Amino acid sequence: MSRARTSPNQKTAVKRFNIYRNNITVSLIDALAAIFPATQRITGVEFFRAMARFHIQATPPLSPLLFEYGHEFPDFIARYEYAQSMPWLADVASLERAWLDAFHAADIGVLTAEALAAFPSDRLARAVFVPHPTTRIVRSAFAVVSIFAANRAEGPVGSIDATAEEDALITRPNLDVVVRWLSPGRAMFLALPVSGQTLGVAAAAAAEASVAFELSSRIAGIIETGAFTTIQHGD
């Protein structure tokens, strides 16, 4: 019986390929660490890099742009067996990914107070707000904004009640990405227009979510956050 033989050149080629593949994996792990610094700080470097390696094996990149990688990482973390003791970790990663997406989003004008004031008041309930490309909303059953902020800042992380529900609004006014904590009523009020619902639907849902919701101040907040670009007539 004849035996297949591997030439020295073939062995060298396999070795070079393995080195190349390992270098690509390390580059992707480094990219994830740069995209998710708070997530890595929470888990520790060794845990994070092992988790990232498993994610890369399951979800190879589709784009040559490294900053585009990692959109599926938060969902992977939510399923990752060894991260189950940190149930807030996936939401922190979602907030970090939203921050980067807002950072790279198109820079266009925002809705002005003048444009809002010029809109017919009798049609305001059916108005549709067009979200700015930078706008993201992350809703969480955990203290995602507090955990994110503490672990992206320098210095030690203090005590945080991770079980306190927090929602986040991510925008980029004046070219700087800003993460704002949202109260339950305000989160609902902004999330529905972002998804295409009318102002009337959003206001009704927000009032039901929070008895403290007040429409006029929230409309003013729409301008202040820079979350929308234009206002249009709905059906």
Burial of 185 (C-beta count, 10 Å sphere; 0-12/13-18/19+): buried
pLDDT at 3: 53
Give pLDDT tens digits for 12-63: 544 554 444 567 889 999 999 999 999 999 999 999 999 999 999 999 888 7
User: If pLDDT is split at 50, 70 and 90, which confidence band does 159 have?
Assistant: confident
Higher pLDDT residue, 226 or 74?
74
Give the CA-trace dihedral at 196, 200, 202, 205, to 10 degrees.
Answer: -140
pLDDT at 233: 85
DSSP 134: T
pLDDT at 215: 78
Average pLDDT, the chain: 87
Strand partners, 230: 130
Structural domains of the chain ordered from first start: 1-86 (no CATH), 106-235 (3.90.930)
Q: Reply yes or no on whether the pLDDT at 192 is more than 50.
A: yes
Give pLDDT tens digits for 105-136: 999 999 999 998 899 988 988 999 999 999 99
In terms of phi and psi (left: phi > 0; alpha: psi -120 to 50; beta: otherwise), the region of 44 is left
Residue 19 token pair? 């080195």
Q: Reply yes or no on whether the pLDDT at 185 is more than 50.
A: yes
pLDDT at 175: 83
Q: Decide the pairing of beta strands 228-233 and 167-171.
A: unpaired
pLDDT at 96: 97
Name the helix (H) or strand (E) containing 171: strand 167-171
Report pTM. Answer: 0.84
* Residues 115, 129 contacting (CB under 8 angstroms): no
Q: Reply yes or no on whether the pLDDT at 217 is more than 80.
A: no
pLDDT at 151: 95
Name the helix (H) or strand (E) containing 58: helix 45-58
Q: Reply yes or no on whether the pLDDT at 95 is more than 90.
A: yes
Please name the amino acid found at residue 173. Answer: P
Q: Reply yes or no on whether the pLDDT at 170 is more than 90.
A: yes
- Sorted by sequence, the CB contacts under 8 Å of residue 170 that are 6+ apart come out as 95, 98, 99, 102, 134, 135, 136, 137, 138, 177, 178, 179, 180
Q: Among all chains, which residue has been given the structure tokens 């070219």?
A: 175
- Sorted by sequence, the CB contacts under 8 Å of residue 58 that are 6+ apart come out as 76
* Residues 40, 33 contacting (CB under 8 angstroms): yes
